[in-house]
Amino acid sequence: MSALPTAVQPPEDVESDDCLLSYNYLYSPTLLQGRVAFITGGGSGIGFRIAEIFMRHGCDTVIVSRNLQRVTQAAEKLRAATGRHCLALNADVRQPQTLIDAVEESLKTFSRIDILVNNAAGNFLCPASNLSFNAFKSVLDIDTMGTFNASKILFERYFRDHGGVILNITATLSYKGSVLQVHAGSAKAAIDAMTKHLAVEWGPSKVRVNSLAPGPIVGTEGMRRLGGAAAEAMGFWNTIPLQRPGNKTEMAHGALFLASPLGSYVTGTTLVMDGGSWMTSPNHFATTLDLWSSEMKKSK
Ligand code: NAP
Ligand code: COA
């Protein structure tokens, strides 16, 4: 990595769903000592790296998703790299009973849950008029309903009596109304609203609720599905104020700030971590859509 000024120098990252080869601590290694985090979609991408960075700071984790094999393999990697406990469980955030079972199993194992990260999501590029009713509903069900389901269950089972932190991974898509993203933009905007409602309602129970909105992040399924290769080929990164995409470790550092005592007086807000991207990115590709589509095909 070339020597950038430290203010914009990204930390090391690995693009695959593997742990970092080395890690340079910026915060105290005991920042989350004794805590337990429940991370939906923690078996891949940004959720996997959040689990790793939390564990490197003393946290034990539960990672849940629909694919038990995926989270089981991820948990093995996370345990080996960090020496912390990681429980892999099967749950579909659209099905409350599967989440209730996972939370009960987690409490049986760890006797506590301090942090919920609502990271599970589904997305793809699709013009609104091509989107089936069920396609729009599927994304709302995973992102918005999934976030509400997990938050309500954790609040009722543990946070109401013990306090806690909820961190919702959202996006900047709705800020300017990105084309081809009405489903995900609507879903994430609803979650940002939920963040504020729950922060106000659950603050007296000592529960903090925040959102973290990533921009384009390398080494993720989101980037692959949303035209990352095409964006690279078209020189899109130069349009971002910081002139590069972000990486998963940077997102995990934001999550660490919001979930740890560093964020003790922060609730009901959204931390945008996108290099300034949403302010300068075009949100309408009518003239470049054909170019975009052909670049997408080439990049497959
Ligand atoms: P990813 O690796 O595909 O992460 C999504 C995870 O959610 C997967 O592990 C998936 O596992 C899980 N999941 C999906 N549906 C689920 C369900 N119904 N129940 C339980 N788990 C489910 O993608 P990512 O790019 O890292 O995205 C992570 C988060 O960052 C998402 O909230 C995304 O919207 C947000 N984000 C990403 C970017 C980016 O550039 N990547 C930008 C902005 C926002 P299973 O398939 O095993 O269920
Ligand atoms: N374009 C348009 N519509 C699509 C689509 C696409 N690329 N992919 C799926 N759909 C539609 C399906 O056709 C279906 O609608 P229909 O019943 O009217 O035909 C609907 O969406 C649901 O699809 P299905 O495959 O049954 O849903 P699922 O629950 O198995 O999967 C998805 C949910 C579609 C979001 C799937 O892509 C997924 O599991 N994603 C998780 C990983 C991910 O997206 N990561 C990136 C996060 S940023």
Q: Is the CB of 67 under 6 A from ligand 1?
A: yes
Distance 122 CA to ligand 2 centre (A): 7
| Residue with CA nearest ligand 1 atom 6 | 41
User: What value does the mean pLDDT of the chain take?
Assistant: 94
- Rounded Cα distance between 101 and 111, Å, is 14
Cα angle 111, 113, 117 (rounded to 5 degrees) comes to 155
Ligand 2 pocket by C-beta < 6 Å: which residues?
A: 121-124, 126, 132, 134-135, 138-139, 221-222, 225
Please give the average per-residue pLDDT across 56-82, as a whole number: 98
pLDDT of residue 51: 99
- Rounded Cα distance between 157 and 171, Å, is 28
Where do runs of H (alpha helix) occur along the chain?
45-56, 68-82, 96-110, 133-140, 146-154, 160-162, 182-202, 221-225, 228-233, 248-259, 277-280, 289-299
From the alpha carbon of 133, which atom of ligand 2 is closest?
Answer: 18
Query: In this structure, what are the phi and psi dihedrals at residue 167, rounded to the nearest 5 degrees?
Result: -125, 120
Predicted confidence (pLDDT) at residue 298 exceeds the cutoff of 90: no
Distance 105 CA to ligand 2 centre (A): 29
Please give the average per-residue pLDDT across 211-236, as a whole number: 93
Predicted confidence (pLDDT) at residue 283 exceeds the cutoff of 90: no
Predicted confidence (pLDDT) at residue 83 exceeds the cutoff of 80: yes
pLDDT of residue 267: 99
Q: Is the CB of 117 under 6 A from ligand 1?
A: no
Report the residue among 92, 95, 98, 138 best suited for mutation to probe ligand 2: largest number of ligand atoms under 8 A from its CB: 138
DSSP at 146: H
Please give the average per-residue pLDDT across 89-110, as a whole number: 99
Residue with tokens 């105290």: 28
Q: Is the CB of 70 under 6 A from ligand 1?
A: yes
Q: What does the pLDDT look like over 9-56, one tens digit per residue?
A: 999 999 999 999 999 999 999 999 999 999 999 999 999 999 999 999
Dihedral angle computed from the Cα positions of residues 178, 183, 188 and 191, in that order, rounded to the nearest 10 degrees: 150
Report the percentage of the chain scoring pLDDT > 70. Answer: 94
Closest ligand to the CA of 70: 1
pLDDT of residue 296: 56
Question: Domain 36-299 belongs to what architecture?
Answer: 3-Layer(aba) Sandwich (3.40)
pLDDT of residue 282: 85
Please give the average per-residue pLDDT across 273-278, as a whole number: 97
Please give the average per-residue pLDDT across 215-233, as a whole number: 92
- Rounded Cα distance between 218 and 257, Å, is 21
Q: What does the pLDDT look like over 119-164, one tens digit per residue?
A: 999 999 999 999 999 999 999 999 999 999 999 999 999 999 999 9
| pTM of the complete model beyond 0.95 | yes
pLDDT of residue 297: 65
pLDDT of residue 287: 39
pLDDT of residue 284: 75
Please list, in sequence order, all residues whose beta carbon lies within 8 angstroms of the beta carbon of residue 192, skipping any fewer than 6 positions away. Answer: 168, 170, 211, 213, 270
Residue 288: pLDDT band (50, 70, 90) is very low
Token duo for residue 279: 């302010």
Residue 294: pLDDT band (50, 70, 90) is low
Please give the average per-residue pLDDT across 253-258, as a whole number: 98
- Rounded Cα distance between 127 and 17, Å, is 30
Domain residue limits, the chain: 36-299
Predicted confidence (pLDDT) at residue 63 exceeds the cutoff of 70: yes
Sign of CA dihedral 80, 83, 84, 87: positive
- Rounded Cα distance between 173 and 185, Å, is 5
